[in-house]
Structure 1
Amino acid sequence: MTKKALSLIAFFLFASQISLFAQTKFVMAGLTHGHSHWIFQKSFQGNFELAGIYEENQDVVRQFIKSYNLDESLFYKDYEEMLDEVQPDGVLAFGPVSQHLDIVKKAAPRGIHVMVEKPLAFSAKEAAEMEKLAADNSIHLLVNYETSWYPSTDALIHKSKVEEDNFGKLRKAVFHHGHKGPKEIGVGNEFLDWLTDPEQNGAGALVDFGCYGVNIMTLLTDGEMPESVTAVTQTHKPDIYTEVEDEATIILTYSGAQAIIQASWNWPFDRKDMDVYMEKGYLKAPEKERLDFRYGNQSDDTVQFVDKEMTGTYANPFQYFSDVIEGRINLPPYGLYTLENNVIVAKILDAAIESSKTGKTVALQP
C-alpha cells in the first residue's frame, strides 16, 4: 500500500473520530428557573458542552460560580455578544416565559436552535411569532417538560395507540400536576419573583402546571384542537400569592373526549400523574416508572414497572436536544418536545387565562 493511500486512510479514520466525538455546543440564556441547575449535575452530562451563559442577575451568577466551581469567563453580560462570540449550535432558555420570544428572535436569524423550559409561551400570538421565526430560519425550537423524561409517559402513550383494538377510543383524561407551592418547597427568590408575576409567567399554577396536561393531551389526540376551554382558578393562600392563583382546573372538550387538568400549588405532596380512560379500559401512570392498566374484561389492574431501557425514553433533555440538532432523532408528529404540539399548548393556555378572568368558556377554532 502506498504512502498516499495510508495517509488517506489515516485522514478518514481521524475525521470519523472527530465526527463521532464532536460535541454539540450550547449556551444558556437565563439561570433563574429552578431547573437551570440540571445541566451542571453529573446525571445530566452528555455529548455536549456548555460554552457560555448569559444572566443579568449578578447575585445569581455569583451563586452558580460558587455552587458549581464555574469559571467567570463562561459568563456574558450581553446575550447577542455571547451568540456572536461563541457561535453555539443551540441555546437553552431558563428564564421567565415572557423572555422566550426575544431569545428566539435573536437566535433564529443566526441559525441557532433553541430549547426553552416549559411552556413555550402563554400567549398564542407570541407562540405563532416564534413558530414563524423557526420556520423562516430552519431551526429546531423544542420545549422541555420533566414528564417527557418519564418512562411511564412514553409507555402509556404507546400502549394507548398500539392497542386501540383492546382499549377503544380516548374518552377522558385526568391530569394531576403540582406540589405544595413554590415558596413552600423553597424555590429561590430569583425564580419565585417571576413565577408569581402574571406579566412574566402569564398566571400562577395555571401556567406552571397546567401546561403539562395540555402537552400530553395534545399528543394523545394527535394534535387535535379542543372545541372549548374552561378554567376555574382560586387563591387559597393570598398572603403568599398576592397576584396569581395557586389553584386551577382546566376543562378541555373535544369532539369525542374531554380532559380535566388539575394544576395546583396546594397538593399535600409532589405529584405528576395521569389517568386516561378509553372506551373499553383505562391506563394510569401513577409514578414515573409505573404503568397500571385494565382492559374491560378484567376485574383487576395489571401493574407494569417500566424503565428507560424498555421504553427508549431520554432521561436527559440536553442530550435529546443535541441528538435532534445532530440529526440522530427525527421528531415524531406532535411529540412532547415539538413546536407543533407546543404552539397548540400556548393557544390553550391563552384561552384558559381568558376563561379564568372572564368566568366564561372560550370556544377555539380548529
Structure 2
Amino acid sequence: MNTTRFSRYIFILLFIAVNSIAVLPAHAQSTSTAPLRVAVAGITHGHVAWLLSRKKPDMVLIGIYEPNDELAQRYAKQYGLDSKLIYHDLGKMLDAVKPEAVVAFGSILQHMEVVEACAPRHIHVMVEKPLATTLAQAVKMQELATKNNIQLLTDFETSWYPSTVKAYELTNDSNYIGPIKKVVIHDGHQGPKEINVNKEFFDWLTDPVQNGGGALIDFGCYGANLMTYLMKGEQPISVTAVTQQFKPAIYPKVDDEATIVVSYPTAQCIIQASWNWPFGRKDMEVYGQTGYVITVNNTDMRLRAEKDAKEHSRVVTAAEVPVYEDPFSYFADVVHNKIKVPENGVYALKTNVTVVRILEAARESAKTGKTVYLKK
C-alpha cells in the first residue's frame, strides 16, 4: 500500500471512529470506575436505612427527594447527612443534581411517578419490590424504560441469597433434580406492627392503594419473582388465591394472610405469604422429578437427589456462586456496564412485569373466589 493510499485509509478509520462516538446517546452506559452518582426518591420505606448508612466507595449519594420535611431532616441528622441534599420536588432534584441513577424508597404506588420523572431524563432506576401496584403501571413503566433506554431493576432480598442462585443452578443448569414439578415458597414475618416498622412505613404498607394490598403484595411478590426466575420466564396459565384477615383490628384495610397457587403446563407453585408467621422466614422447597432442593435461609440448604440414600445438608456462600450480596453494588455495576442483567433474572424488568401480572391475578382471584386464567 503506497503512502497516499495508507494515509487515506487511516483518515477513513478515524472518521468512522469519531462519528461512531458522536452518535452514542449522552446516557449510554460506560465502564466508568468513578462512583455511581445516585439520588434517592422517597425515604418512607424502612429499608432505606441500608443506603443512607452505606459507606462503600462504588456509590456517592448526591440528592434525596422526600416531601415529608420532618422525616427528611430526622434522617439527615440520624445518618450525618448534609441537609442541602434534601429536595421536596422530584423534578427539581433531578435537574439540579443530575444523577446517573435513582433508587426509589417510597410507597409502591410512587414507583410510577419516579419512573415517569427519570426515564425521559435518561436516569436509571432501581425500585424496592414489587415493581408496581397494578399491571397497567408495570407495563407503562416497561414502555418508558425501553423507549428511553434505561435500566429499571427491582430489588428483592432473596436476590442477594447465595442459596437462591445455587437452587437455580441445581434445578436448571446441572439438572440435579430433573424437571420442576412443584415449588412451595414461604415468606413473611409476624406483621409490620409486630416487628415495629416505623410509622411512615406502616402507613403506606397497610394501605390498599399505596401498597396494592397487604401480605399478598408485600410477601407474595417474593414467590412470584422466584418462581418466574426458576421457570426461566415461562408465563403461568392460571392463578388462584385465598386471602384472610386474622388481625383486622391491626390491619383493617388489607389482608394479612395469603395463599397463591400459580399453575403452569408442567409445574405448580404454592406461595404462602403471611404477616402471621411466628418468626420471619424466606425459604423455598423445589421438587423435581428425581429430587428436591430446599433453601432454609440465605446460605443453608437441604437436598436429596435420586442417587442419594438420604437427605443431606450443605452451606453455600457467595464465594462459590455468582451473586451480589449488596444490591447497590449490583446496580452500580449494571449502570456502568460492567455486568448485564439476565433477561429472566431476579432483578430483570421482564421478570418483574410477570410478577405484577401474577399478583394482580391473585388479588382478583381472592376478591372473586375464582381462578384467574392469564392471557398469553
* Aligned partner of residue 167 in structure 1, secondary structure: coil
Gap runs ≥5 in structure 1: 1-18
Partner residue in 2 for 1:176:
186
**Counterpart position of 1:95:** 106
Does residue 227 (structure 1) correspond to residue 237 (structure 2)? The answer is: yes
Please tell me the residue identity of whatever aligns with 1:82: M
* 4+ long deviations beyond 3 Å: none
Q: Which has the higher helix share?
A: 1
Q: Look up the match of 2:94.
A: 83
Partner of 2:23: none
1:323 aligns with 2:324: no
1:111–1:138 CA contact under 8 A, matched in 2: yes
2:199 partner amino acid: N
Quick one: distance in 1 between partners of 2:171 and 2:56? 32
Note the C-alpha offset of 1:41: 2.9
> What residue is the counterpart of 2:174 in the other structure?
163
In the aligned structure 2, how far is the partner of 1:220 from the partner of 1:81?
41
| Structure 2 residue 136 is the aligned partner of structure 1 residue 125 | yes
Quote the residue 1:106 is aligned against.
Answer: 117
Equivalent position SS for 2:76: helix
> Equivalents in 2 of 1:21, 1:286: separation in Å?
37
Q: Secondary structure at the match of 1:180?
A: coil
Following TM superposition, by how much is the alpha carbon of 1:58 offset from its aligned partner in structure 2, in angstroms? 1.8
1:24-80 deviation per Cα after TM superposition (whole angstroms, max 9, x unaligned): 1000000000111111234x6340101000011122112201211111001011100
Describe the SS at the equivalent of 2:186.
strand
Unpaired runs of 5+ residues, structure 2, are 1-30
String of CA shifts for 1:94-122, please: whole Å, max 9, x gaps: 00100111110110000000000000012
SS at match of 1:201: coil
Residues 26 and 304 of structure 1, relative CA distance in 2, 3 Å threshold: same
TM-score normalised per structure 2 = 0.90
Percentage identity across paired residues of the two chains = 49
Contact map agreement 2:170 2:177 (CA 8 A) in 1: no
Alpha-carbon deviation of 1:20? 6.1
Query: Which residues in structure 2 correspond to 1:18-33 (within 5 Å)?
Result: 21-33=33-45
Instruction: Find the aligned partners of 1:201 and 1:122 in 2 and give their Cα distance.
Output: 6
CA drift of 1:158 comes to 1.2
Q: Which residue of 2 aligns with 1:12?
A: none
Tell me the distance in 1 between the aligned counterparts of 2:314 and 2:244.
36
Separation in 2 of the partners of 1:228 and 1:312? Answer: 32
- Residues of 1 paired with 2:306 and 2:53: CA distance? 44
**Structure 1 residue aligned with 2:265:** 255
**1:1-366 matched pairs, under 5 angstroms:** 21-42=33-54, 45-164=56-175, 166-366=176-376
Deviation at 1:140, TM superposition (A): 0.3
Amino acid at match of 1:38: W
Q: Which amino acid aligns with 1:343?
A: V
Residues 248, 262 of structure 1: 8 Å contact kept:
yes
What is the root-mean-square deviation of aligned Cα atoms in Å? Answer: 1.3
C-alpha displacement at 1:176, in angstroms?
Answer: 0.3
Q: CA deviation at 1:171?
A: 0.2
Equivalent in the alignment of 1:3? none
- The offset of 1:23, in angstroms, is 1.1
Does the 8 Å contact 1:107/1:113 carry over to 2? yes
SS of the aligned residue for 1:159 comes to helix
Offset of 1:182 from its aligned partner?
Answer: 0.4
TM-score (norm 1): 0.93
